Structure formats: structure tokens, C-alpha cells
Amino acid sequence: MRIELDSSLTPFSLNHTLSCGQTFRWQLRGDWWVGVVGKRVLKLRQINGDVIEFEASSPEVDVNFVRRYLRLDDDLLAIYSMIDRDRYVHAAVKRFYGLRLVRQEPWECLVSYICATFKNIPAIKQIILGLSQRFGSPVTFEGERFYGFPEPNALAEAKLHELRLCKLGYRAEYVRETAGIVTRGKLNLESLRELPYASAKSALMSLPGVGSKVADCVLLFSLDRLEAFPVDVWMKRIMLKYYSGHFESGFVEKLKKRTSISKSDYEIIHAFGRRYFGEHVGYAQEYLYHFERCKALSKVKGWIGVRL
DNA sequence: TGTTTCCCTAAGTC
DNA sequence: AGACTTAGGGAAA
């Protein structure tokens, strides 16, 4: 199936979108991106900038599904005009024009970002793949076997040592406990959409392994809260490098000293981002994050690639 | 130029 | 404030 875009009104870059580090299950094979979304295998490619072709393991993956997953409903041009506040964001938007956030499934997003704490992206990808192979259901697509993302009860009932085989380390307990809470219906992720941002965030933070940063990732990447602003080590670096003038000098010195950031540090940076970039700060975050990471990698490797 | 080893750090939370 | 599991990957050997 195919989707045709008017790229002058709906800028979109599949490569930038799937390689910017927000998702962990996509791989590039030739000009096709192949990945697993929940329990479905999906294959996508972009042709000439304005046509998206796709195939999937399940008939429910239709044009609407793909449009929704890729957030083609976001008015990216309007968002650009709102977040383009300075030359740093401007450069990032120019370099990764058409990058969109992806509308992930909340459960998968939640577990993924619990596993992502204090890990690099290649390691996170391995963890998610391992969890899927061990606890997910197999899906055959074009003669190849893939594994869907595990259901909450599968992870809730998992043995701790089995989880640890997936290289989760101390996160194994967090994942199992959180899976138990979701399985028992104590927290309905979809229902968080009805709540104000602060309430939804604190509900998420009641889960083990979920702090401010993971909660913001889940809100931004799966629950349509573009006002969420995840602050990780990269965002801290970016703030120190380009935006230190917006903070008190004492605060800047404090941030420079320590590698990790405290909860109050997080709140200060978060408040600045929300105020400075506006209600779509999540998009600004993703562009700055990807731009800075690419610059750092290209400095080491001497190239600028899409596969990070 | 190709391995092995060392070392730092990682989309933070408790 | 400091510990925490684990391993990717660059740098040194």
C-alpha cells in the first residue's frame, strides 16, 4: 500500500524519523525500514520524498494506521514556526528537516524507556529484542520470524533470572513490578490521556523504575503530550553548551560539577524548556537531541550517518 | 593492520 | 549524595 504526501505542506523524512533514537526496533535493509510495532511487523520505504510504500504482517495496518504511527497528522510547519526560537534549533530543523515524533504504543514505550535508563542505544536495542524473543509471540512475515512486544502479563509472570538473561540488570525488578501493576489493572495507560499533564506524569512516576525523565518520554512518545520535555544527559549537555545564559550562574556551575542531575535540577531545566520553546517543546527536544548526538558521533567517526 | 584489554559512560532511579 | 547492573565501543596496548 502507499501514501502520497504533498511534501510542501507535509514535510516528512522516514530516515530521520526512524534513526533518531526514539524507537528501538527498526532496522534499515536496503531502502526498506523493517520493524516491529507492538505485535505487527511493518516494512516501509519512502520514494522521491512524497510517497510512502508499506507492507505489514497484519491487515489492520492500513493507511490510517501508518499515518497515525508516523504522526503525519502533526502540522510540522506550524510546529517549526513555534519552536524555531534560535539558531540552534534552526540548524537542527534544517539538518533533519521532516523528522517526526512517532506515536508509539504506551505499554511498549513505557517498558522500553524503563530499560533505557543509564544504557546506550545499541544496548537498549538488544534488551528490547531479547525481551521480545523470550517473552513475546512469534510473528511470521514474508517467510521470516519476528517477535512481538511482550504483553504485560508475560513480563509480570516472568522469572527474575529469565528477565536478567535479557541483560536488564537492576531494571529487571522494575519491569516485572510495573508489568504486575498494569496487568492487575491498577494503572490504565490509555486513561492517562484524560488527565492534565502533571497528574498523568505523577501517575506514571508512581511506577517502579519510572522517574521524571522516563515519565516524560512515555508522555511525549506515546500519549501525545508534546509539552513533555525529557531531560537526559544529552539535554543537560545541550543546556550547558547553548542555553547556559538562561540560568543562574550558580546553577550552571552546579550542573557542570555533577554527572547526574537531581530532581530539582530536572524541574528547573524542564520549566525553562516549556517556557522558552512553548507547548510543543517535545519536538524541540527531539531535534536538539538528535543533532547534538550526530555531531558528537561524526566527530569521532568522521561521518554523518542515519544509522546510529 | 588486526586483536585484546582497559576504561569510561550510557535517552536515570531509588 | 551515592550506589547501582551491564555492556557498547573508543582508546590504548
Question: CA-to-C1' distance for A243 and B2, Å?
Answer: 44
Nucleotides of B under 7 A from a protein CB: 9-14
**Three cell numbers written together for A178:** 510495573
Question: CA-to-C1' distance for A21 and B8, Å?
Answer: 21
Please count the CA atoms within 13 angstroms of the CA of A41 that sit on its side-chain side: 17
Measured CA to C1', the nucleotide nearest A232 is: B11
- pLDDT attached to residue A239: 95
pLDDT at A228 over 50: yes
Interface residues for strand C (CB within 7 Å) are A 118-120, 122-123, 126, 164, 167, 169-171, 258, 260, 262, 300-301
Q: Which residue has the cell 504526501?
A: A5
Which residues are bridge partners to A59 per DSSP? none
Q: Give the integer Cα–Cα distance in Å for A290 and A218.
A: 18
Q: b/e map of A160-191 (b: 16 or more CB within 10 Å)? A: eeebeebbbeebbebbbbbbbebeeeeeebee
| Helices (runs of H) and strands (runs of E) counted in chain A | 15, 7
What mean pLDDT, rounded, does chain A reach?
95
pLDDT tens-digit series, residues A87-117 = 999 999 999 999 999 999 999 999 999 999 9
pLDDT at A298 over 80: no
pLDDT at A305 over 50: no
pLDDT at A175 over 60: yes
pLDDT tens-digit series, residues A44-81 = 999 998 999 999 999 999 999 999 999 999 999 999 99
- pLDDT attached to residue A297: 78
Measured CA to C1', the nucleotide nearest A118 is: B10
pLDDT at A308 over 50: no
Q: Give the integer Cα–Cα distance in Å for A246 and A145.
A: 51
Q: Which residues contact A199 (CB under 8 A, 6 or more apart)?
A: none
pTM of the model: 0.96
**Contact call for residues A307 and A18 (beta carbons, < 8 A):** no
**Three cell numbers written together for A102:** 512517532
Using the 8-state DSSP alphabet, how is residue A17 labeled?
H
Detail the DSSP E strand segments found in A137-227.
138-141, 144-147
**Three cell numbers written together for A82:** 513555534
Which residues are bridge partners to A41 per DSSP? A36
pLDDT at A302 over 90: no
Question: CA-to-C1' distance for A127 and B5, Å?
Answer: 25
